[in-house]
Amino acid sequence: MTAVLGTPPLPPKSVALLARAGIRSVADLQAYGAAAAFALLRAEGLPVPEAVLWRLGELAAGLPAFSLDESGKQALRARLKRTPPQALFPPAEEAAHFMRLALRQAEQAAAAGEVPVGAVVVRGGQVLAAAANRCVAEHDISRHAEIAALSVAGRALGNYRLEGCDLYVTLEPCAMCAGAVMQSRIRRLIYAAAEPRSGAAGSVLNLFAEPLLNPHTAVQGGVLAAEAGALLQAFFRARRD
């Protein structure tokens, strides 16, 4: 049986937060990564000392507590620097609710002859902005759903930095939109369908994992991916026919 994470060697609050993220056992920790788990604890506001990183590294490697040598610690520090932003993501029902709102925007885009992509910005459970692709209507390549939604949310808050906000979008962002998301300081990006030809959140490249860009956004994909993918396929099938 796989060992369950507990205290000691980890602090009780760290164990509880990791459990909320689905990291309950050593096997879960190994799959998630010790450095990523430590980054998650800090991202969620726990004032964890570096010693917790050592304990996580030891657990993941199957080593006894307090046995990590200096070279092992340096390797974990280096891995932590390369770790993309982490966050606890909304429960599945909540994520599906807001993604359905984005899908409604995508359906409106399809009806208008636009590529069916929709986006919604949420903060504290409240929708700040909802938008669809408008490139054809506005003769503007920058009017992707993500950028349009970020613009509306910025005006609503009186600030282009959307810290503490989530962006739901029905298709993995392209490089242009990924850059806008990072510049806006969106906390969590949740997308539906992957974009294998131009996706910049992991499919073709992952700008959100590039440490030189100082990213601030944690990314989760695959929420209602089948629904979003079916909408896109139907749209392009109709255009070919």
Radius of gyration of the chain (CA): 20
Report the SS3 class of residue 67. coil
Any known ligand binding at 165?
no
Name the active-site residue from 114, 146, 172, 195. Answer: 146
Q: Which two tokens stand for residue 21?
A: 């993220």
Dihedral (CA of 153, 155, 160, 161) sign: negative
* 146 tagged catalytic: yes
Q: Evaluate whether 223 touches 96 at the Cβ level (below 8 Å).
A: yes
Residue 144 is assigned to a ligand binding site: yes
Feature table: binding site for Zn(2+): 144, 174, 177
**Catalytic residue positions?**
146
Annotated binding site: 144, 174, 177
